[in-house]
């Protein structure tokens, strides 16, 4: 797709043995992240979006079986040992987690946790690290940064903690920032602040951002490009405006239509997807969305549709070739 891809994932599958059989969390995913782009990955719980993100940094559970390839620049990350990964983690690729309280070390002052990144990855003096950390906290709009450096995580609000996480993730000026539901645990006003901050930082540093969320609204606000995941696979992938204006996959359409909006007439009923997401230990044959799909064809139960390019940068994995538009909320 793109010669300048910073991250290139090919044929990635992640399986877990479990007492209920093999759980296929991620299935045969191809995905690229271009330098400096903002990629949104949207999916419900169990769609594999978090597993995908964790695998990039070698954070999958030890019993996970990974196949395929994850390349950062020219370097294969899959199968890389801890020491080699540590050269990359927090340095070239870093991560922000959903819950900043559990991601920060409660016993260490904020300043120590931020400067540690520089002490490990850069040859800097303690004084320089401290100065850089304060600058970084200021750039994520933490007021009174020097004082905050000396505080413990529990002394900060949820929004502040998430800003600290972002400061930590960005202080080594990584090429790629992975963010797993970074604003989900926060109030809407703070969520908006964090999204604005991401965009501001990207504009300034050129860091590529991969943001995983269940919230299409967050994607619409922030992303350049979107990948829609369901049951471990990418169902559709497109530039953000294209995806929202012309969704090609019935699941994308269903997600879009089932969300109530504050800016459109109130429907009597929301469009709704029947059924529930499949059990990852017992995925149906063929397309995993077929049992809930209103455009289902006989072939959908037999053959998994490949992800194919249907327009410039627009990819979909669906046998249905006709138009969508059957799913609508019921007008009031």
Partner 1 sequence: MNRAAPAADPAGTASQSVPPQSAALLAVSELSVTYRVTHRGAHALLRAVNGVSFELARGETLGLVGESGSGKSTIARALLRLVPAESGVAMFQGIDLLGLAGGRLQAMRRHLQLIFQDPVASLDPRMNVGDILGEPLRVFEPQLSGEERRQRVLAMTQAVGLGAEHLHRFAHEFSGGQAQRIGIARALIIKPELIVCDEPLSALDVSIKSQISNLLKDLQRQLHLSLLFISHDLAAVRFSCDRVLVLYLGRVMEIAGCDALFSACRHPYTRALIRAAPIPDPVAARARRSAPLEGEIPSPLFAPSGCVFRTRCPMAIDRCAREVPMLRSVGDSQVACHRAEEVGA
Q: What angle do CA 41, 46, 47 make, to 5 degrees?
A: 35
23 interacts with partner 1 by CB under 8 A? no
The 45-84 contact track toward partner 1, x by CB under 8 A, reads x---------------------------------------
| 183-186, Cβ contacts within 8 angstroms, sequence gap of 24 or more | 183/213, 183/218, 184/98, 184/213, 184/214, 184/215, 185/98, 185/99, 185/100, 185/158, 186/158, 186/159, 186/162
Residue among 277 and 313 whose Cβ is closer to partner 1: 277
263 interacts with partner 1 by CB under 8 A? yes
The residue within the footprint of partner 1, chosen from 85, 190, 294, 297 (CB under 8 A), is 190
259 interacts with partner 1 by CB under 8 A? yes
Q: What angle do CA 301, 307, 312 make, to 5 degrees?
A: 140
Stretch that binds partner 1, among 68-76, 144-152, 268-276, 294-302 (CB under 8 A): 268-276
Stretch that binds partner 1, among 22-30, 120-128, 184-192, 317-325 (CB under 8 A): 184-192
Backbone angles phi, psi at 122, to 5 degrees: -130, 145
Q: How far apart are CA 122 and CA 15, in angstroms?
A: 36
Stretch that binds partner 1, among 29-37, 85-93, 189-197, 317-325 (CB under 8 A): 189-197
196 interacts with partner 1 by CB under 8 A? yes
Q: How far apart are CA 254 and CA 268, in angstroms?
A: 17
Stretch that binds partner 1, among 73-81, 100-108, 111-119, 239-247 (CB under 8 A): 239-247
Q: How far apart are CA 219 and CA 213, in angstroms?
A: 8
The residue within the footprint of partner 1, chosen from 44, 99, 138, 173 (CB under 8 A), is 44
272 interacts with partner 1 by CB under 8 A? yes
Binders in 114-153 for partner 1, by CB under 8 A: none
Stretch that binds partner 1, among 103-111, 114-122, 174-182, 262-270 (CB under 8 A): 262-270
218 interacts with partner 1 by CB under 8 A? yes
Q: Is 117 helix (H, G, I), strand (E, B) or coil?
A: helix
Within 10 angstroms of residue 209's Cβ, the number of other Cβ atoms is 23
Q: How far apart are CA 266 and CA 330, in angstroms?
A: 9
Q: How far apart are CA 149 and CA 160, in angstroms?
A: 12
The residue within the footprint of partner 1, chosen from 68, 131, 244, 246 (CB under 8 A), is 244
Count of residues engaged in binding partner 1, rule: CB under 8 A: 46
From the list 101, 106, 162, the residue with the least C-alpha distance to 137 is 162
240 interacts with partner 1 by CB under 8 A? yes
Q: Which residues bind partner 1 (CB under 8 A)?
A: 44-45, 157, 159-160, 187-193, 196, 214-221, 240-241, 244-245, 254-256, 258-263, 266-274, 276-277, 292
């Amino acid at each position: 797709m793109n010669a300048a891809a910073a991250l290139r994932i090919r044929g990635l599958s992640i399986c877990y043995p479990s007492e209920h059989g093999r759980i296929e969390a991620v299935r045969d995913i191809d995905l690229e992240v271009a330098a400096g782009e903002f990629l949104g990955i949207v999916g419900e719980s169990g769609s594999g979006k978090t597993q995908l993100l964790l695998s990039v940094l070698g954070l999958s559970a030890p019993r996970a079986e990974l196949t395929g390839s994850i390349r950062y620049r020219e370097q294969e990350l899959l199968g890389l040992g801890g020491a080699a990964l540590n050269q990359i983690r927090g340095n070239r690729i870093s991560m922000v987690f959903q819950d900043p309280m559990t991601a920060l070390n409660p016993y260490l002052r904020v300043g120590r946790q931020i400067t540690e990144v520089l002490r490990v990855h850069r040859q800097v003096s303690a004084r320089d690290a401290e100065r850089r950390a304060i600058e970084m906290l200021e750039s994520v709009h933490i007021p009174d940064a020097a004082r905050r450096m000396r505080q413990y995580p529990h002394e900060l609000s949820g929004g502040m903690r998430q800003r600290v996480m972002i400061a930590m993730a960005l202080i080594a000026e990584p090429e790629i920032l992975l963010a797993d539901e970074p604003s989900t645990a926060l109030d809407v006003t703070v969520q908006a602040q964090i999204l604005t901050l991401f965009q501001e930082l990207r504009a300034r540093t050129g860091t590529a951002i991969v943001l995983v969320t269940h919230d299409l609204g967050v994607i619409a606000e922030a992303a350049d490009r979107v990948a829609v995941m369901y049951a471990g696979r990418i169902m559709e992938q497109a530039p953000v405006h294209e995806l929202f204006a012309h969704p090609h996959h019935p699941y994308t359409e269903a997600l879009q239509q089932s969300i109530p909006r504050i800016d459109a007439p109130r429907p009597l009923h929301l469009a709704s997807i029947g059924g529930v997401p499949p059990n990852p230990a017992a995925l149906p044959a063929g397309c995993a969305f077929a049992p809930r799909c209103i455009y289902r064809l006989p072939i959908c139960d037999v053959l998994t549709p490949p992800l194919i390019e249907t327009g410039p940068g627009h990819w979909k994995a669906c046998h249905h070739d006709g138009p969508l538009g059957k799913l609508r909320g019921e007008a009031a």
